[in-house]
Amino acid sequence: MSSIADPIAGSPVADAKAEVKAEAEAKVAAPAITLPATGERELRLDLFRGLALWLIFIDHLPTNLLTWLTIRNYGFSDATEIFIFISGYTAAFVYGRAMLEGGFVIATARILRRVWQIYVAHVFLFTIFLAEISYVATSFENPLYSEEMGIMDFLKQPDVTIVQALLLRFRPVNMDVLPLYIVLMLFLPLILWLMKWKPDVTLGLSVLLYALTWQFDLYLSAYPNGFWAFNPFAWQLLFVFGAWCALGGARRMSRILSSNITMWICIVYLVAAFFVTLTWYVPQLGHIMPKVIEQWMYPINKTDLDVLRFAHFLALAALTVRFLPRDWPGLKSPWLRPLILCGQHSLEIFCLGVFLAFAGHFVLAEVSGGAALHALISVCGILIMCGMAWIISWYKHSADKGASKKGAAGNADMAGGGA
């Protein structure tokens, strides 16, 4: 029932009605996705993306002492999951903001420009990698290098193979991540548009595509035969999940992530995964695995992002978020600076890591030096990657200072739009 006091400004009833009206209008006007306020970079993302690049480089080398320090030996997932998730997160953060502020067309144009940059980097890396392998195989009269690195088909039919490489269907060994990222980035405008509409529905559609991939064996074929090492139909789930987390999903899950029940579930799963992987390297422990579980679990498929791999990554990510807060002082430590710099320039460092991995492989194959040489090559490769990251950072910082003096805008991709 209305009161004569209602029209009076400041009356409790008028205030209450105005509040309800404002809330209703805010709900209608609020976008489906929300983004953190512009400010400091999320250094945790840079840190772990840099760590993923180091781990990928070490895993691409022949087995050595440092190889046993990578996470693939202690669970189901490896550095690839870290790299793809963070790539989805940072890409959505950068280009999601562009879509909210400039619209779908502007954001799509920026995304396609970034896709072109990554594609050019992939073609450039492919060319240099082929030249490196061919030179070593010819100079040392050892065709096994060409066979081991998967370029025999290029040497037999270079004209056909180059076309297939440009179509992303032919790739030498260790060059599978960038083509996957290129395809995922091509679909980022659609992903962001759907996220703007309904984030949770978008994630649900991603899960559905993942399930259909397993049910109907969806895949992309590779040249000359076979299929992509990382199936985009399956790995899109990790990329979309990263985007969903960046656009408000992580905040909505904060209560679940802070729960002690969640923490103990993650710990138990990680410990169980560790003991399973232990049986791979210590055959004597094989008897502790019940046959029923073995038949259900194996093979743990990396190509199609096995559920066990995805769950292992989620457990690691949940514990990391819980015990490594955003304002952790260690992120400012000079000891972690090399990792963070590598993560901030991931496209360049990834390409360099592929090149260095084959160089290290060649040295280890030609020189018999034992564990000490293996460790030395691994450490030298990481130091070169850190040095290159520092040079790139110094150059971009100098360029940005020069641009700011002229009033030019900074490069938005520096916020995490890189590979």
One DSSP character per residue, 39-108 reads -S--HHHHHHHHHHHHHHHHHHSPS-TGGGGSGGGSSS--HHHHHHHHHHHHHHHHHHHHHHHH-HHHHH
Task: Report the range out of 151-160, 219-228, 279-288, 310-319 with the highest average pLDDT.
Answer: 310-319
Domain check: are 62 and 98 in the same one? no
Please report whether residue 399 resides in a domain. no
Domain check: are 123 and 67 in the same one? no
Lowest model confidence (mean pLDDT) among 22-26, 94-98, 299-303, 357-361: 22-26
- Greatest Cα-to-Cα distance within the chain, rounded to the nearest angstrom: 99
pLDDT band at 12 (very low <50, low <70, confident <90, very high): very low
Please report whether residue 9 resides in a domain. no
Domain that holds residue 363: 43-72+324-390
Stretch 94-106: mean pLDDT: 92
Domain check: are 204 and 59 in the same one? no
Q: Backbone dihedral region of 248: left (phi > 0), alpha (psi from -120 to 50 degrees) or beta?
A: left
pLDDT at 414 over 60: no
Q: Higher pLDDT residue, 71 or 37?
A: 71
Please report whether residue 115 resides in a domain. yes
* Alpha carbon of residue 306 to chain centroid: 16
The pTM for the full model equals 0.87
Give pLDDT tens digits for 120-137: 999 999 999 888 888 887
Q: How many CB atoms lie within 10 A of CB 17?
A: 12
DSSP reduced 3-state for 221: strand
Amino acid at position 37, single letter: A
Give pLDDT tens digits for 376-386: 999 999 999 99
pLDDT at 115: 97
Q: How many CB atoms lie within 10 A of CB 402?
A: 10
pLDDT at 27 over 60: no
Please report whether residue 311 resides in a domain. no
Please report whether residue 240 resides in a domain. yes
Please report whether residue 6 resides in a domain. no
Please report whether residue 34 resides in a domain. no
Domain check: are 220 and 99 in the same one? yes
Q: How many CB atoms lie within 10 A of CB 261?
A: 8
Give pLDDT tens digits for 108-121: 999 999 999 999 99
Domain check: are 227 and 371 in the same one? no
Beta bridge partners of residue 221, listed in sequence order: 227
Q: Which two tokens stand for residue 195?
A: 């996220």
Give pLDDT tens digits for 230-239: 999 999 999 9
pLDDT band at 33 (very low <50, low <70, confident <90, very high): low
E-state strands within 305-371: none
Domain check: are 241 and 127 in the same one? yes
Amino acid at position 83, single letter: F
Domain check: are 182 and 111 in the same one? yes
Contacts of 389 (CB under 8 A, 6+ apart): 50, 338, 341, 342, 344, 345, 348, 349
Whole-angstrom distance, CA of residue 275 vs CA of residue 290: 13
In this structure, are residues 181 and 84 in contact, taking their beta carbons and an 8 Å threshold? Answer: yes
pLDDT band at 286 (very low <50, low <70, confident <90, very high): confident
Beta bridge partners of residue 227, listed in sequence order: 221
pLDDT at 272: 95
* Helix axes 337-344 and 346-366, enclosed angle (nearest 10): 110
Compute φ and ψ for 227, nearest 5 degrees: -145, 170
DSSP reduced 3-state for 198: coil
The Cβ-side half-sphere exposure at 259, using a 13 Å CA radius, reads: 10
Whole-angstrom distance, CA of residue 307 vs CA of residue 98: 33
* Alpha carbon of residue 299 to chain centroid: 23
Closest CA to 125 of 350, 395, 391: 350
Domain check: are 112 and 57 in the same one? no
Number of domains within the chain: 2
